[in-house]
Amino acid sequence: MILVNEEPLNWHAGMTVRDILRVRNYRFPMLVIHVNDVLVAKADYDTTTVPDGAVVKVIHLISGG
Amino acid sequence: MSQLVFDPSKVMDIDYTKRTEYLDQLEALRAGMRTVKEVPFQPSLPDKGYTNRTLYVNVGSLEVTEKPVTQQMKDVFIGGRGFGLYHLWNAVKPTTRWNDPENEIVISPGPVAGMTQYAGTGKSLVVSLSPQTDIPIDSNVGGFYGPLLKFSGFDALELQGKAEKDIILFIDGVKGLIRVEEVAGGPEDSHVLAELLTHLYAEGEKDLPNVSVVSTGAAAAHSLIGMLNFSFYDRRRKCVRFKQAGRGGIGTVFRDKRIRALVVRGPKVAGDLNHPVDPETIAKTGIKYHKEIRENDGGQCMMRRNGTAHIVEIMDAYDLLPVHNFQYGSHPEVHKIDSSYWQQRCTQHTVDGCWYGCSMACAKGADGLVLKTGPYKGDMVTVDGPEYENAAGLGSNCGVFDPDYLLELNFYCDTYGICTITYGTLTAFVMECYQRGILNKERTGGLEMTWGNAEADLEMMHRMARGEGFGKIAGLGVKKMKEYFIQQGWGDPQLINDIGMENKGLEYSQYMSKESLAQQGGYALTNKGPQHDEAWLIFMDMVNKQIPTFEDKAEALYYFPLFRTWFGLNGFCKLPWNDVVPANNSEQPEAHKVPEHVQNYVDLFSATTGVKIDKEDLIMQSARVYNFQRVFNIRMGKGLRLHDAAPYRSLGPVTKEEYESRAERYDQQIITEMGLDPAGKSTEEKMAMHRKWRTDRFSKLMDSVYTRRGWTLDGVPTLARLQELGLDAFPEVVDVVKQHL
């Protein structure tokens, strides 16, 4: 289990940042993502794996309006 | 997550230079015009962003006067919305209503407006007493009128009085002439009128971009929701296009004053017309920003390809797109009107900016639309947009997923002078009333206002423009429709009030706020009414969970409305702030504020005016105007806690269908948020539990926000807050507040 934006999400081995975005349907293009307080660059979403128990923050920049 | 990729081969092959022209009506229009007043003036360019004078025109008495801009005006009100509110305060009394002659329309661009080195710098603010809310409304608009007004010699234009016959006010900033002309006959609708007037007042083809027209359309004379079109000449398309000052019915005030149009002819625009103190900083900041747009926009919001419509599918994905009068947040047919479609339908062979130098260039246009209905049936037109608000309001919120009909609705809203946001929300309300039996075919005069019935929707709009039947009733807006339906005994008053999406008399703009308490406040705890330009906090609150406590939300509802107010004081567009961000933005503290861009604004203001400010000063500049506006509302008999009340549809599920469509979410909230057990409860019982919880927490939010803003729990700025802001220098302001403390 991991926490994504304070909410639990089932974890599986090899889970990447991209997988989280897909599962959560996070389609907004301007994101700031931290895994256990470490910033993940956009270019690394496909390759950065997320450990079990991780705390993930997916900050959507404001846009809108 | 999939990022839309632009495929040029899919763009429709539409000739963007072809459209129906109306210039054959020019001679008839000219023949119906008669000069009734002509006054010379000395044209002048700004110094450090200010021309240091404003123009007052009384369209009734034909008084034309110049007024000085004082240092106090600059220090306290800055420009734009600040100047508008300052002039309006001095013009009206607490008893003044929108259609009294002393009500004004004030147009002011702000000191930075007209800059050509940075993106989004051509905005004007329009301020008036609103026919919908009876308090000041401010509307932020692009197009060329504001900057050309300033480059002609005026930091603001005040329009007061009422003419007996239709008039056109022409300001020639090259020759130094102000002329009032009566006009008999001729077109009213913007796409025809502005084309004719642009050609009438331009001195040759090369002069066309130096002319801008403010106009409205036929519906403004028969409704309370009239909008103003500010024109700009599109050199590549060779046509007149528009940006809109939409909210709050200023177009209605305009026509009530019998102003047919305002026309300005300014000097040829160049990069140094503001005479800034530090052009090097402006150039350097602009170059850095343009590079950022060029390099990043394609991988971020794609504003240059899609305009603001890029968020249609995103709002749908997050259950935030208004569907069927804000009942639901997504719809399976959204793909028909999302940006993957508009990217193909809008012309992509040209750069679309609504002011010089805007590299964000999001003023997209859909060319080659042949109209199917109405007085211009068969004409081929260019439609400005569609913007997100139009696609969501005229589209999903009314169940219209046919893009051609959506464009036609968009076109007629524009040319008739109807605010698209307001029209979308009021039509969605009408359709839900129709669905629930509050309205029927007899009550609508034969209009079958079912979800998605675009033909009936268009017919209602045509009737609104003609001032006929149910079209006229709809043109009163949601608040007055609610009162009317209840008065007629047509339905349950609580249901009608719950589903009518207005606050202070203004219709909600097109975002779902049910699952974001902060956005509920972002809409309702506003000065002018529920328009997202004060605060858009849904992602921070609902998705990111960045602001979990009441205090966190209150802080966001302190900072962002003030930060965004600042754009309207200066002549900036909000979009370049955060619809693209620097590549290293994610590494910055408070990335959601886009700190590098905030610093750009600080630098641009200082470099233009010579007044050195920092980020904290920026917020204080806004706070003065924001609190002044709150006091202005109180002076007009509104502006208190009770006026910030929100319709329940904006807070939670009103109907059984709404609840049951998201039952898992709502049931879970009963457990986790309320600490109760939904098991064995009927839907009605669970809805009642939600209603209590949601209204209670909204009330607590009000307490927190008012406290953070330095207001009493009744929403009144305290004397201490006024002193802190220097507003105690205005005894009238203090007097208003004292009556409520």
Q: Domains of chain B (ranges plus CATH)?
A: 8-12+278-507 (1.10.569.10), 32-265 (3.60.9.10), 517-738 (1.10.599.10)
A 10 A CB-CB count for B552 gives 16
At residue B695, the 3 state secondary structure works out as: helix
Instruction: List CB contacts (< 8 A) between A7 and chain B.
Output: 545
Q: Name the packing angle between helices B615-635 and B550-570 (round to 10°).
A: 90
Given CB atoms, is A61 within the 8 Å cutoff of chain B? Answer: yes
Residue B1 has pLDDT above 60, yes or no: no
Domain boundaries, given as residue ranges, for chain A: 2-60
Q: Which of residues 75-134 of B touch A (CB under 8 A)?
A: none
Q: Which residue of A has its CA nearest to B389?
A: A65
Tell me which residue in B1, B301, B313 faces A63 most closely, judged by beta carbons: B301
Q: How far apart are CA B685 and CA B680, in angstroms?
A: 10
CA distance B440 to chain A (A): 35
Residue B385 has pLDDT above 90, yes or no: no
Across B393-417, average pLDDT: 98
Tell me which residue in A5, A31, A63 faces B578 most closely, judged by beta carbons: A63
pLDDT of residue B327: 98
CA distance A62 to chain B (A): 6
How many helices and strands in chain A, by DSSP H and E? Answer: 1, 5
- Please judge whether B511 and A64 are an interchain contact, meaning their C-beta atoms are less than 8 angstroms apart: yes
Given CB atoms, is A65 within the 8 Å cutoff of chain B? Answer: yes
ipTM value for the complex: 0.96
Q: What share of chain A is helix, strand, coil (3-state, %, to 5)?
A: 15, 35, 50
The 10s digit of each residue's pLDDT in B522-563 is 999 999 999 998 899 999 999 999 999 999 999 999 999 999
The DSSP bridge pattern shows strands A31-35 and A38-40 to be: antiparallel
Residue B111 has pLDDT above 70, yes or no: yes
pLDDT of residue B2: 57
Q: Which residue of A has its CA nearest to B522?
A: A65
The 10s digit of each residue's pLDDT in B621-640 is 999 999 999 999 999 999 99
Second CATH level (architecture) for the domain A2-60: Roll (3.10)
Burial class (CB in 10 A: 0-12, 13-18, 19+), B158: buried
Residue B407: name the closest of B733, B677, B12 by CA.
Answer: B12
Q: Which residue of B has its CA nearest to A46?
A: B1
Q: How far apart are CA B304 and CA B456, in angstroms?
A: 34
Given CB atoms, is B672 within the 8 Å cutoff of chain A? Answer: no
Residue B417 has pLDDT above 60, yes or no: yes
Tell me which residue in A6, A22, A28 faces B314 most closely, judged by beta carbons: A28
Instruction: List CB contacts (< 8 A) between B391 and chain A.
Output: none
The DSSP bridge pattern shows strands B157-160 and A38-40 to be: unpaired
pLDDT of residue B650: 98
pLDDT of residue B462: 98
Q: How confident is the model at residue B350 (pLDDT cuts 50, 70, 90)?
A: confident
Give the amino acid at B376. Answer: Y
CA distance A14 to chain B (A): 18
The 10s digit of each residue's pLDDT in B248-271 is 999 999 999 999 999 999 999 999
pLDDT of residue B6: 86
Mutation target to probe the A interface, by most A beta carbons within 10 A, among B334, B534, B539, B594 is B539
- Please judge whether B591 and A59 are an interchain contact, meaning their C-beta atoms are less than 8 angstroms apart: yes
- Please judge whether A25 and B591 are an interchain contact, meaning their C-beta atoms are less than 8 angstroms apart: no
CA distance B50 to chain A (A): 28
Q: How confident is the model at residue A62 (pLDDT cuts 50, 70, 90)?
A: confident
Q: How confident is the model at residue B584 (pLDDT cuts 50, 70, 90)?
A: very high
Burial class (CB in 10 A: 0-12, 13-18, 19+), B39: middle
Residue B183: name the closest of B125, B263, B128, B246 by CA.
Answer: B263
Residue B399 has pLDDT above 80, yes or no: yes
CA distance A53 to chain B (A): 18
CA distance B246 to chain A (A): 14
Residue B694 has pLDDT above 80, yes or no: yes
Q: How far apart are CA B620 and CA B727, in angstroms?
A: 12
pLDDT of residue A63: 63
Tell me which residue in A18, A27, A29 faces B300 most closely, judged by beta carbons: A29
pLDDT of residue B351: 82
Summary mean pLDDT of chain B:
97
pLDDT of residue A38: 97
Given CB atoms, is B301 within the 8 Å cutoff of chain A? Answer: yes
- Please judge whether B539 and A63 are an interchain contact, meaning their C-beta atoms are less than 8 angstroms apart: yes
In the block, tokens 């403010």 appear at B214
Mutation target to probe the A interface, by most A beta carbons within 10 A, among B387, B586, B588 is B586
For every residue of B290-321, DSSP letters joined together read HHHHHHHGGGTT-HHHHGGGGGHHHHHHTT-S
pLDDT of residue A65: 59
Question: In percent, how much of chain B has pLDDT > 90?
Answer: 97
CA distance B36 to chain A (A): 42
Phi, psi of B158 (to 5 degrees): -105, 130
Burial class (CB in 10 A: 0-12, 13-18, 19+), B55: buried
A 10 A CB-CB count for B681 gives 15
Residue B339 has pLDDT above 80, yes or no: yes
| DSSP assigned state of B534 | S
At residue B180, the 3 state secondary structure works out as: strand
Across B185-206, average pLDDT: 98
Tell me which residue in A29, A33, A62 faces B299 most closely, judged by beta carbons: A29
